[in-house]
Amino acid sequence: MKLCMVGTGYVGLVSGACFAETGNQVVCADIDEKKIERLRAGEVPIFEPGLEEVIERNVAGGRLSFSSDVAAAIAASEVVFVAVGTPSRSDGGADLSAVDKVAETVAESVEREMVLVLKSTVPVGTNTRVRRIVAGAPHPVHVVSNPEFLKEGDAVNDFLRPDRIVLGCDEDGPARDVMGRLYHPVCLDRDRIVWMDPVSAELTKYVANTMLAMRISFMNEIAALCEKVGADVHSVRHGVGSDQRIGSKFLYAGPGYGGSCFPKDVRALVNTGREAGVELELAATTDRVNDRQKGVIARKLKQHFDGDLRGKRVAIWGIAFKPRTDDIRESATLTLIDTLLSEGAQVVAHDPEAMDEARPRYGDRVTFVDDAYDAAMGADALVLMTEWRQYQNPNFDQLAAAMHRKLIVDG
């Protein structure tokens, strides 16, 4: 099928490349001309394990290309996916301006009957809103909601072997047929498609992310309680997670969840509830608990140094919001660095993949080092923020020799 992926970020690039991998003719289109130039030059602008190989193979096979002419790419396609960003507005709701813009471009550029698929995370009512925008197009445009559940760090695998594919579609017609065919290659062993109406599909994405975030916030509160009463949160997690009704995933305490999805999606769900007159108290508290948790490491350091961080040299291992990605959006490390700098500490940071993302934000206010052990040289404390595998079994003798004080805070 001829397919256009509008928005070539973490979701669009992975999805576009994987749809090419399953035999479709895909154009990844984006208004960011620099990004498109880099992709055309064979560079992959994000770090995502396995993605580079999929892109290389499909570009070489003539199935995958890149364009900054979004209108032309849309006009040439039978199926258009919307994978643009939907960041938080100041009231917590989702900013849909990029989605609207793509829908307007579709309405102006469409040259045949087509299927328009909303893959971006969008609030309840967006399918209807987009349908209104494309209603005046010269050819029928069928609008389907298809929220994405891939995890950064394992996105290619998630796309090709998904737990489920949620499709929100009101009509029994060409859209269902097209979506069924597109996802058929990843449903060979079992049908993974969960069909529903568009409103339910839109809500499913927010509910899934909020429920995962809620588990993390709950365990972060329990970790604080464990510290006070002398329990070990890892033992508690193990004991609790072995109950099959609960399950072991997303029960790890840490320095607060980050990323481009959980914080914004929890807030957006709270906002949807508010607009609908339903107070979603658990979701709202999940967000508040996480905000507080993002200050936990700085509070521990401050307490250790009798309230004075001035001149203290703090080494940080891990800037990305989780391992196996270079994505630093809303990472707890950023909150920590901001606090340390405002308290007069010196920060030396290392991350295997995310330093290029962090450099523009801090310039020379933070020292970035290529070798993790160089960060520890003369440090008063070492903080482990992102659980990259390479940090998991460090050479403690080397650290002890390098550090000024032997203090490690494990987030």
Q: Which of 20, 106, 150, 385 binds ligand NAD (CB under 6 A)?
A: 150
- For the CB of residue 324, give the shortest distance to ligand NAD in the complex, in Å: 12
Q: Is 261 a catalytic residue?
A: yes
Quote the CA–CA distance of 234 and 254 in Å, as a whole number. Answer: 11
Among 75, 102, 348, 409, binds ligand NAD (CB under 6 A): 102
Residues 234-253 that bind ligand NAD (CB under 6 A): none
Binding mask 162-181 for ligand NAD (x = CB under 6 A): --------------------
Shortest separation between residue 315's beta carbon and ligand NAD, angstroms:
28
Supply the minimum distance, in Å, between the C-beta of residue 67 and ligand NAD: 10
Among 21, 30, 287, 326, binds ligand NAD (CB under 6 A): 30
State how far the Cα of 201 lies from the Cα of 341, in Å rounded to an integer: 42
Which among 29-37, 58-66, 225-233, 332-340 is the span making contact with ligand NAD, rule CB under 6 A? 29-37
* Single residue of 21, 48, 148, 326 touching ligand NAD by CB under 6 A: 148
**CA–CA gap between residue 88 and residue 287 (Å, rounded):** 13
What six digits make up the tokens of 364? 């020379």
Residues with Cβ within 8 Å of 398's Cβ and at least 6 positions away in sequence, in order, are: 373, 376
Q: What span, in angstroms and rounded, lies between the C-alpha atoms of 168 and 199?
A: 7
Q: Which is nearer to ligand NAD, 343 or 387 (CB)?
A: 387
Q: How far is the CB of 362 from ligand NAD (least distance, A)?
A: 20
CB of 102 to ligand NAD, least distance (A): 5
Q: H/E element holding 146? A: none
Stretch that binds ligand NAD, among 27-35, 276-284, 354-362, 397-405 (CB under 6 A): 27-35
Smallest distance from ligand NAD to CB 39, Å: 10
Q: Which of residues 257-286 bind ligand NAD (CB under 6 A)?
A: 260-261
**317 vs 407: CA distance, rounded Å:** 13
Residue 12 binds to ligand NAD (criterion: CB under 6 A): yes
Residues 60-99 contacting ligand NAD, CB under 6 A: 70, 83-86, 98
Provide, for the chain, the percentages of residues in helix, strand and coil under a 3-state DSSP scheme, each rounded to the nearest 5.
45, 15, 40
Strands 366-368 and 346-350: parallel
Residues 103-142 that bind ligand NAD (CB under 6 A): 120-121
User: Can you tell me the distance from the alpha carbon of 232 to that of 251, in angstroms, rounded to the nearest whole number?
Assistant: 13
Give the closest residue to 301 by CA, choosing from 402, 369, 379.
Answer: 379
Q: How many whole angstroms separate alpha carbon 8 and alpha carbon 119?
A: 12
- Judged by CB, which is closer to ligand NAD: 33, or 308? 33
What is the CB neighbour count within 10 angstroms for residue 270? 24
Is residue 393 left, alpha or beta, with left meaning phi > 0 and alpha meaning psi from -120 to 50?
A: beta
Inter-CA distances, 153 with 42, 184, 374, 388, Å? 21, 24, 26, 11
Active site residue: 4, 18, 28, 261, which one? 261
Instruction: Please tell me the distance from the alpha carbon of residue 372 to that of residue 231, in angstroms, as a whole number.
Output: 31
Beta strand ranges found along 297-362 (DSSP E): 313-317, 346-350
Q: In the complex with ligand NAD, which residue's Cβ is closer, 103 or 345?
A: 103
Contact 2, 78 (CB under 8 A): yes
Given candidates 4, 11, 175, 251, which one binds ligand NAD under the rule CB under 6 A? 11
Query: Where in 364-403 is the site for ligand NAD (CB under 6 A)?
Result: none
Active site residues: 261
The residues binding ligand NAD (CB under 6 A) are: 6-12, 30-32, 35, 70, 83-86, 98, 101-102, 120-121, 148, 150, 152, 260-261
